[in-house]
């Protein structure tokens, strides 16, 4: 249950200044927004959680403030407020770092915890977001495989390790990702979250939004997360942080609710549940909006993230995202901003205010995941037996959303008009992996047939206009043993199995070749012409031809002349694989060709 609050009075008491523990070597200013409490106390502790200091904070308008002289670096702290005769203790929602159980913040000198080279590090400039190739991964999954010789398994530091190999002796880790050709890695949540007594967790049950997750750290969590970003930047890879501002793990027990009952979450008497996780953050309220904006600006400045992926972005109001964008682009004009344009349930926030797909035109610089493309390619993700174009329903109705992505021309009722707002994908951390979905829907098909479907799906993603996105390991046929939602399953299920990179090297090389082709010829089929034949489709633009053969027999087309082949049923590349005088496409595959100009 949530307590009722005079929201109008609270909004009138908003505060524009800095909040939290504002650190300097000579003093720290502790500032807490709480317009209604009778009094508030600051309490300091040593590293062993032993009390060191307690003082009543002074009210200054709608905030309480205490200035503590001397260097407070490393001290733990919390706040205590008395509100309506009730005393509540809680950690600072603005804390840069928190202790392991999230009961106290840690005063942090952000100017001190810097790896060598951090001061000269900068964002990966990416002025055309639709050209991005995003690789989604979990920090833990990245390095927990027993067949990869990471030293810092499950930790931020694993991304900084060099000369890491699988059991076949092939390079894995950050070096592998660089050679794959992706432009950005998207880190699943890396900020403080509740483990819910589980050994494994994705991090979508947040506690604190500015404090890196200690479970991913060997020693110095701020330093090690920065070190990860620095290692990626040195490899030429941007880093996107997956942020979860739409809810917290437990609203009643959160510092947000304890700080001021009934303000930071939507609902009247009970917490509303648009997130599907028991509560939803009230982003439209002034101080909630300010918190999100302050938090993102802090993360951008202090961790040099190149973008943010918003979990259940449809629960965040449009006005908040517009304000956020304005602030962030002052720091990094090319910051990438995108998210899920839907909610996890019914929300009291009117749909006209939500950042859902149908309101995409109101957020022209934000991108949204294209679930209609995803389902057209492989089938509905909520029905494991449903098929898409590559696995049983190769008809025009399923090809239309795919063709729209390839051509960058969308129907009148589609939510986007510009490909830069569209993220094309067929697999992410949610639901089954593509490989598992194909194994289910293709029944007793042999391995070759499944690989052909995998390659065709990949071709659609990387040849389309808009941002390309795929989950780590998708390229080497990642499996989660048919689990539809592996958020709480052990490492045996979730970890990247790096030996598959070697075992399924053909599909890895196919992905690598498609990514390279995309980088060299991005948008090659923009505004292309579609030709629909009985057993196959053809997309043509200028000298490029894409043949999509979903039948069980080889197709010999009427095209003749001199052609350079960039992709067939086996390989893909940004340079011609071979030349041909006829265009023949193997069963269940694509053929990507360019007509050679007669130089004579």
pLDDT tens readout for residues 390-448: 999 999 999 999 999 999 999 999 999 999 999 999 999 999 999 999 999 999 899 99
Give the CA distances from residue 91 to residues 16, 20, 32, 98, 174, in Å, rounded to whole numbers and listed in that order.
Answer: 21, 10, 11, 8, 35
Give the model confidence (pLDDT) of 328-345 as tens digits: 999 999 999 999 999 999
Q: Which member of 130, 161, 294, 340 is catalytic?
A: 340
Burial tier of 51 (Cβ tally within 10 Å: 0-12, 13-18, 19+): exposed
Which residues partner with 540 through β-bridges? 529, 545
Contacts of 543 (CB under 8 A, 6+ apart): 594, 595, 596, 597
- So what's the pLDDT on residue 196? 64
User: Tokens 């009117």 label which residue?
Assistant: 350
Model confidence at 598, in pLDDT bands (50, 70, 90)? low
Average pLDDT over residues 60-76: 98
Asked whether the predicted pLDDT for residue 67 surpasses 80, the reply is yes
- So what's the pLDDT on residue 600? 47
Q: What is the SS3 assignment for 25?
A: coil
CA distance 600 to 596: 11
Average pLDDT over residues 70-98: 97
The CB density around residue 534, as the number of other CB atoms within 10 Å, is: 6
Q: Which member of 65, 311, 427, 568 is catalytic?
A: 311
Active site residue 340: yes
- So what's the pLDDT on residue 401? 97
Helices 447-463, 434-441: axis angle to 10 degrees equals 130
Are the CB atoms for 315 and 246 separated by under 8 Å? yes
| DSSP symbols for 388-440 | -GGGT--SHHHHHHHHHHHHT---TTSS-SSGGGEEE-S--SSS--HHHHHHH
Give the model confidence (pLDDT) of 177-195 as tens digits: 999 999 999 999 999 998 7
Give the model confidence (pLDDT) of 89-113 as tens digits: 999 999 999 999 999 999 999 999 9
Give the model confidence (pLDDT) of 234-243 as tens digits: 999 999 999 9
Average pLDDT over residues 292-308: 98
Active site residue 413: no
Mean pLDDT of the chain: 96
Phi, psi of 560 (to 5 degrees): -140, 160
**Exposure b/e, 341-355, CB count within 10 A at least 16 = b:** bbbbeebebeeebbb
**Exposure b/e, 541-565, CB count within 10 A at least 16 = b:** beebbbbbbbeeeebebebeeebbb
Please give the distance of CA 163 from its chain centroid, rounded to a whole number.
27
- So what's the pLDDT on residue 534? 84
Helices 505-521, 447-463: axis angle to 10 degrees equals 20
- So what's the pLDDT on residue 269? 86
- So what's the pLDDT on residue 332? 97
Give the chain's length: 600
């Amino acid at each position: 249950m949530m307590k009722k609050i005079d929201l109008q009075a609270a909004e009138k008491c908003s505060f524009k200044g800095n909040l939290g523990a504002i650190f300097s070597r000579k003093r720290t200013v502790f500032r807490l927004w709480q317009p209604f409490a009778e009094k508030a106390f600051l309490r300091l502790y040593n590293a062993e959680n032993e009390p060191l200091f307690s003082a009543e904070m002074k009210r200054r308008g709608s905030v309480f403030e205490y200035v503590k002289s001397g260097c407070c670096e490393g001290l733990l702290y919390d706040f205590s407020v008395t509100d309506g005769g009730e005393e509540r203790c809680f950690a600072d929602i603005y804390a840069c770092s928190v202790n392991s159980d999230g009961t106290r913040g840690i005063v942090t000198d952000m100017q001190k915890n810097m790896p060598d080279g951090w001061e000269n590090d900068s964002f990966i400039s990416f002025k055309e977001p639709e050209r991005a190739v995003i690789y989604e991964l979990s920090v833990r999954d990245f390095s927990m495989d027993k067949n990869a010789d990471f030293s810092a398994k499950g930790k931020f530091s694993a991304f900084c390790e060099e000369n890491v190999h699988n059991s076949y002796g092939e390079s894995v880790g950050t070096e592998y990702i660089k050679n794959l050709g992706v432009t950005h890695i998207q880190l699943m949540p890396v900020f403080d979250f509740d483990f819910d007594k589980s050994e494994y967790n994705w991090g979508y049950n947040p506690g604190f939004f500015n404090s890196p997750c200690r479970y991913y750290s060997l020693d110095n969590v701020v330093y090690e997360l920065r070190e990860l970003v620095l290692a990626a930047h040195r490899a030429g890879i941007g880093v996107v942080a997956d942020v979860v501002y739409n809810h917290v793990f437990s609203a009643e027990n959160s510092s947000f609710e304890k700080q001021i009952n009934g303000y930071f979450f939507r609902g009247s008497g009970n917490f509303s549940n648009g997130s599907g996780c028991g509560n939803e953050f009230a982003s439209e309220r002034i101080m909630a909006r300010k918190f999100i904006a302050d938090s993102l600006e802090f993360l951008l400045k202090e961790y040099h993230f190149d973008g943010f992926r918003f979990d259940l972005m449809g629960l965040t109001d449009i006005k908040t995202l517009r304000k956020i964008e304005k602030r962030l682009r002052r720091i990094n004009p090319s910051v990438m901003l995108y998210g899920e344009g839907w909610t996890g349930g019914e929300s009291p926030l009117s749909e006209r205010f939500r950042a859902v797909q149908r309101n995409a035109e109101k957020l022209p610089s934000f991108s949204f995941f294209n679930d209609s493309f995803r389902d057209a390619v492989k089938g509905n993700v909520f029905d494991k037996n449903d098929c898409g174009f590559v696995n049983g329903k190769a008809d025009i109705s399923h090809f239309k959303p795919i063709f729209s992505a390839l051509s960058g021309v969308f129907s009148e009722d589609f939510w986007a008009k510009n490909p830069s707002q569209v993220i094309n994908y067929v697999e992410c951390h949610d639901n089954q992996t593509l490989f598992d979905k194909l194994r289910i829907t293709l029944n007793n098909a042999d391995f070759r047939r499944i690989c052909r479907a995998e390659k065709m799906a990949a071709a659609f993603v990387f040849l389309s206009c808009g941002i390309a996105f795929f989950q780590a390991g998708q390229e080497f046929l990642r499996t989660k043993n048919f689990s539809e939602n592996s958020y709480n399953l052990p490492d045996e299920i979730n970890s990247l199995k790096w030996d598959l990179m070697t075992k399924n090297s053909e599909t890895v090389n196919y992905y690598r070749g498609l990514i390279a082709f995309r980088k060299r010829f991005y948008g090659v089929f923009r505004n292309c012409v579609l030709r629909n034949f009985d057993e196959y489709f053809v997309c043509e633009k200028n000298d490029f031809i894409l043949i999509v053969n979903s039948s069980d027999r080889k197709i010999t087309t009427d095209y003749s002349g001199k052609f350079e082949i960039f992709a067939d049923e086996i390989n893909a590349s940004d340079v011609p694989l071979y030349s041909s005088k006829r265009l023949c496409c193997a069963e269940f595959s694509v053929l990507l060709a360019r007509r050679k100009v007669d130089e004579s």
